[in-house]
Chain A
Amino acid sequence: MDFINLIGRVFLNFLESMGRFLIFGSKTFYHCFTPPYYFRSIISQMIEIGFYSLPVVALTTLFAGLVIALQSYAGFTKFSAEGAVAMVVELSVTRELAPVMAGLMVAGRIGAAMAAELGTMRVTEQIDALYTLSTNPFKYLIAPRVWGAVLMMPLLVFIGDIIGIYGGYLVCVYKLGFNPSSYISNTWEYLQYMDIVSGMVKAAVFGLIISLMGCYNGYYSRGGAQGVGSAATNAVVTASILILITNYMLTELFFMK
Chain B
Amino acid sequence: MSIPKIEMQHVYKSFGNKKVLEDFNLTVSKGDSLVIIGGSGSGKSVTIKSILGLLKPDKGSIKVDGREIVGIGSRELEEINSHSGMLFQGAALFDSLNVWQNVSFGLVQGKKVNLKEARLIAIDKLKDVGLSSEVAELYPDELSGGMKKRVGLARAIASNPELIFFDEPTTGLDPIMSDVINDLIKRCVDHLGATAITITHDMSSARKIANKIGMLYQGKIIWQGSVKDLDVSGNPYVEQFINGRAAGPISMEVRK
Complex interface: chain B residues within 8 A of A121 (CB): 94
Cβ contact within 8 Å between B81 and A125: no
- Tell me how many residue pairs across A and B have CB atoms closer than 8 Å: 55
* Residue A133 at the chain B interface, CB threshold 8 Å: yes
Complex interface: chain A residues within 8 A of B110 (CB): 133-135
> Out of B54, B84, B155, which one reaches A128, CB within 8 Å?
B54
Cβ contact within 8 Å between B109 and A135: yes
User: Mostly helix, strand, loop or mixed at chain A's interface?
Assistant: helix
Residue in A120, A121, A128 whose Cβ sees the most chain B Cβ within 10 Å: A128
Complex interface: chain A residues within 8 A of B146 (CB): none
Nearest residue (CB) in B for A132 is B86
Complex interface: chain A residues within 8 A of B92 (CB): 124-126, 128-129
Cβ contact within 8 Å between A134 and B109: yes
Shortest CB distance B6–A (Å): 15
Complex interface: chain A residues within 8 A of B85 (CB): 132
A129 and B78 alpha carbons, distance in the complex (Å): 12
Nearest residue (CB) in B for A123 is B90
Shortest CB distance A42–B (Å): 15
* Residue B169 at the chain A interface, CB threshold 8 Å: no
Nearest residue (CB) in A for B156 is A132
Cβ contact within 8 Å between B90 and A140: no
User: Given A125-B90, A126-B94, are A132 and B74 also a contact pair (CB < 8 Å)?
Assistant: no
Cβ contact within 8 Å between B89 and A125: yes
* Residue B49 at the chain A interface, CB threshold 8 Å: yes
What 1/0 mask marks residues of chain A from 171 to 200 whose CB sits below 8 Å from any chain B CB? 000000000000000000000000000000
A126 and B78 alpha carbons, distance in the complex (Å): 16
Complex interface: chain A residues within 8 A of B52 (CB): 128, 131-132
Within 8 A of B (CB), among A96-139: 120-121, 124-126, 128-129, 131-136
Residue in A120, A125, A129, A133 whose Cβ sees the most chain B Cβ within 10 Å: A133
Cβ contact within 8 Å between A140 and B109: yes
* Residue B105 at the chain A interface, CB threshold 8 Å: yes
How many A residues face the partner with a CB closer than 8 A? 14
Complex interface: chain A residues within 8 A of B74 (CB): 136
Cβ contact within 8 Å between A134 and B90: no
* Residue B82 at the chain A interface, CB threshold 8 Å: yes
A129 and B52 alpha carbons, distance in the complex (Å): 10
Within 8 A of A (CB), among B76-115: 77-79, 81-82, 84-86, 88-90, 92-95, 105-106, 109-110
* Residue B43 at the chain A interface, CB threshold 8 Å: no
Cβ contact within 8 Å between B105 and A133: yes
Cβ contact within 8 Å between A131 and B94: no
What 1/0 mask marks residues of chain A from 75 to 112 whose CB sits below 8 Å from any chain B CB? 00000000000000000000000000000000000000
Sample 15 A-B pairs with CB under 8 A, ordered by A number.
Answer: A124-B92, A125-B88, A125-B89, A125-B92, A126-B95, A128-B52, A129-B88, A131-B52, A131-B53, A131-B77, A131-B81, A133-B155, A134-B78, A135-B78, A136-B74
> Residues of A with Cβ closer than 8 Å to B?
120-121, 124-126, 128-129, 131-136, 140
